[in-house]
Structure 1
Amino acid sequence: MFENFDFSDFWHDSQYALDEYVGESPTDEYIESIEKELGYKLPESYKYLIKQHNGGIPNNTAFRMDIPTTWSKDHISIEGIYGVDRKRDNSVCGETGTEFWIDEWEYPAIGIAICDTPSAGHEMVFLDYRECGKDGEPKVVYIEQENDMRIVPIADTFEEFIRGLISEDEFDYE
């Protein structure tokens, strides 16, 4: 898992990130309680990541896309990655976690919200369990609220998504 991937410069630990996203290091029992609350088994790669750093803002926040989205013709952007600390609003079970996005913003109940975006809720990144079931390996998708909740595939696995994050500087905004 994450073989030959260097996490030493992955996270941008600003004060905002530490206050809003980064939670306490979770135990296996805590993760199991989150899975039970959500009704989904979390991907092993996600569990690995949150045991190292429980949520946060990565240095690289863009993911190259072949399909144009409401954000851009060639990529999406994320604000942060949700961890599992219930005390953090920006967490899968936090105040603005999965339940909030599904109940309040009417995002489709296809899985777990794992990343918010700079659009303040008009696009979200979810783990999508529709094909694999609640115990399988979910795909990662981008959901566009402003485009009739269009679901756009991003990556086949969470690890592939993390490995694919690149710098926003690689894109031309003109």
Structure 2
Amino acid sequence: MLLPIDFDARNFWADSDYATKKHTEAPPTDELIVRVETDLGYRLPAFYVALMRTRNGGIPHKTCFPTTEATSWADDHVAITSISGIGYEKPYALCGSLGSQFMLEEWGYPAIGVVVCDCPSAGHDLIMLDYRACGPEGEPAVVHVDQESDYRVTYLAPDFETFIRGLAEESTFEQ
């Protein structure tokens, strides 16, 4: 899948030395994608894979997603600090040392899917692809999971593309 023509991937990502050092891997090959999916046990969404082919992990310009219910972060939104890349090399990549499996095994997050975004709380909440309704081969919903509230799951979007397109500037929300 290619990204839809109305999605501007060139202006999606923010440049930073930190993102390059901790998040951004080389563009994923088809073989790497299959290996990561096999290790995680889930098929990654086509839009996510297409986005990672533009830059494989990093920090987007828009980092907030509106919610209809309060979370531990805010009454009306959640915030992310990065999107995990497909790979093993960088710490925050899906299969990196601080990636999805680490968050499930070491932090006790529920085994409902794949951790795909960090939040500003440094591990106390995060964004996951939720495969409970669709199974490991389906199109997962996107949820916020809050460790501080007994791993409360808050639905955000029906799919990854909707989540990404719904990201907004932090200034959109009152502080």
For residues 5-20 of structure 1, the aligned pairs below 5 Å read 5-20=7-22
Identity %: 45
Runs of 4+ residues deviating >3 angstroms? none
Corresponding letter in the other structure for 1:111? G
1:104 alignment partner, SS class: helix
Match of 1:30 in 2: 32
Secondary structure at 1:124's aligned position in 2? Answer: strand
Alpha-carbon RMSD across the aligned residues, in angstroms, is 0.8
Report SS of the residue matched to 1:99. helix
| Distance (Å, rounded) in 1 between the aligned partners of 2:164 and 2:42 | 20
Amino acid at match of 1:58: P
- Separation (CA, whole Å) in 2 of partners of 1:171 and 1:49: 25
Task: Select 2:146's aligned residue among 144, 147, 168.
Answer: 144
Give the structure-1-normalised TM-score: 0.97
1:107 to 106, 109, 120: 109
Structure-2 separation of matches of 1:39 and 1:168: 33
Distance across 2 between alignment mates of 1:11 and 1:43: 19
* TM-score normalized with structure 2 length: 0.97
TM-superposed CA distance for 1:29, in Å, is 1.0
Q: Mind listing any 5+ residue stretches in structure 2 that lack a counterpart?
A: none
Contact (CA 8 Å) 1:2, 1:159: kept in 2 or not? no
Aligned residue for 2:120, secondary structure, equals: coil
Match of 2:84 in 1: 82
